């Protein structure tokens, strides 16, 4: 049973971190490229950062899909937790929700609602650490795999330890809601690790209060120290020594080795990342390089240049993605040719048929006839 459990964990981690879109943050890998949009490339977070948004939005009398669309996020992104989204757009979403509800603590309350589910498979690493300190050190070391837009750090100074959260891109305006979301998630994480032993000494927040200071105390048990030099939970350093009852040393070692290997992957996976985005977006209509570049917070010219460095182009990747999707969908006879053409982003059936003929030298119908296994004929027995 333990072997099967380990397999299931690695399958889930692999789905998030080893596939093209779920590989270690392309932003992190691309930071070594000398390019003017370097800061913009830190603008990635995993869609698991929206964990629980539909339910929480409904509790606040909001339409989740409407709010996602207003923020410029795909309306089906909640079904794709392994995908990457723009952190800037995530912050925009939170600010729009604040404006729509009139609730200045929307981000904080959403973070408390989300809890540790936001961290996805990083939880497997954290829960199998030996101590609270080891868990938090490794959260800090691997947090960039969850979000390239932020930094989580653990520091100790004598009696106290500090778990801090920083938005790396100073150009993101009004990121306070994103910070307070992280504060709520941090409180839930410490409660998960320590249970009733979790007692904070203080909560530090940069800037002025988002809402009534008394509301923070009702939610967190603390009135924050505002206008602080960092955003951080401050607590007794002795808590770092507490053991975790769920620790599995062998499993922890395997997961850590796996993440370290993934962290070393190269920029050569950028084309695969673009293809994964294309596979996600094509069924919703036509997709352009401008749309993909916008999602990655790049200019289309820069994206094309990066792809050229890898020996390919956006059009080549688009054709390759469409070919693979066409062959897969043609094996499903329940989908009409007109539906398939639309799913691949073509304006009409004739445009799809011409492209298919160019790719394979056959019409879609002829390809089905020649390449798909024929169904066995049923025998009609006489009675």
SS3 content of the chain, % helix, strand, coil (to 5): 60, 10, 30
Question: b or e along 204-236 (b: 16 or more beta carbons within 10 Å of the residue's beta carbon)?
Answer: bbbeebbeeeebbeebbebebeeeeeebbbbbe
- Give CA–CA dist 3/251, Å, rounded: 10
- Is-contact 161 235, C-beta < 8 A? yes
- Phi–psi pair at 33, nearest 5 degrees: -85, 135
CATH of domain 268-371: 1.10.10.60
47: confidence class by pLDDT, cuts 50, 70, 90: confident
Q: Average pLDDT, stretch 284-312?
A: 79
E runs forming strands in the chain: 44-46, 84-86, 150-157, 160-167, 200-204, 232-236
For residue 201, give every residue at least 6 positions away whose Cβ sits within 8 Å of its Cβ, in sequence order, or none. 160, 234, 235, 236
* CB-count burial class (<10 Å; 0-12, 13-18, 19+) for 243: exposed
Q: What is the pLDDT of residues 230-256, one digit of tens each?
A: 999 999 999 999 999 877 888 788 778
Question: What's the predicted TM-score (pTM) here?
Answer: 0.65
Rounded distance between C-alpha atoms, residue 26 and residue 297, angstroms: 12
Residue range 126-149, pLDDT digits in tens: 988 999 999 999 999 989 888 888
Lowest mean pLDDT of 76-90, 167-181, 221-235, name the range: 76-90
| 202: exposed, middle or buried (Cβ count in 10 Å: 0-12, 13-18, 19+) | middle
**Structural domain spans, the chain:** 2-263, 268-371
pLDDT at 293 over 70: yes
How sure is the predictor about 177, in pLDDT bands with cuts at 50, 70 and 90?
Answer: very high
């Amino acid at each position: 049973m333990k072997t099967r459990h380990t397999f299931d964990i690695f399958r889930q981690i692999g789905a998030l971190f080893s596939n093209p879109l779920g590989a270690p943050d392309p932003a992190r890998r691309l930071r070594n490229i000398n390019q003017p949009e370097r800061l913009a490339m830190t603008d990635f977070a995993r869609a698991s950062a929206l964990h629980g948004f539909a339910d929480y939005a409904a509790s606040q009398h909001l339409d989740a899909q409407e709010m996602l669309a207003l923020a410029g996020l795909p309306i089906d992104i909640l079904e794709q937790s392994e995908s990457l989204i723009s952190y800037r757009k995530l912050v925009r979403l939170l600010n729009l929700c604040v404006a729509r509800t009139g609730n200045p603590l929307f981000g904080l309350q959403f973070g408390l609602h989300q809890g540790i589910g936001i961290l996805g498979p990083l939880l497997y690493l954290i829960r199998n650490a030996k101590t609270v300190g080891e868990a938090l050190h490794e959260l800090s070391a691997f947090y960039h795999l969850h979000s390239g837009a932020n930094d989580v750090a653990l520091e100790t100074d004598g009696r106290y330890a500090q778990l801090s959260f920083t938005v790396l891109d100073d150009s993101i305006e009004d990121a306070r809601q994103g910070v307070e979301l992280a504060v709520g998630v941090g409180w839930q994480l410490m409660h998960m690790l320590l249970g009733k032993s979790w007692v904070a000494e203080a909560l530090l927040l940069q800037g002025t209060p988002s809402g009534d200071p008394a509301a923070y105390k009702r939610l967190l048990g603390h009135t924050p120290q505002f206008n602080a030099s960092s955003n951080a939970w401050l607590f007794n350093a002795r808590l770092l020594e507490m053991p975790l009852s769920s620790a599995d040393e062998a499993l922890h070692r395997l997961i850590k080795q796996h993440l370290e290997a993934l962290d070393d992957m190269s920029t050569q996976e950028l084309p695969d990342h673009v293809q994964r985005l294309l596979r996600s977006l094509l069924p919703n209509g036509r997709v352009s390089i401008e749309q993909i570049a916008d999602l990655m917070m790049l200019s289309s010219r820069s994206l094309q240049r990066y792809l050229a460095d890898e020996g390919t182009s956006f059009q080549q990747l688009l054709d390759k993605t469409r070919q693979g999707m066409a062959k897969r969908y043609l094996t499903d006879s329940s989908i009409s040719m007109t539906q398939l053409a639309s799913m691949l982003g073509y304006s009409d059936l004739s445009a799809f048929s011409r492209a298919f003929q160019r790719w394979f030298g056959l019409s879609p119908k002829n390809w089905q006839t020649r390449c798909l296994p024929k169904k066995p004929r049923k025998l009609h027995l006489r009675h």
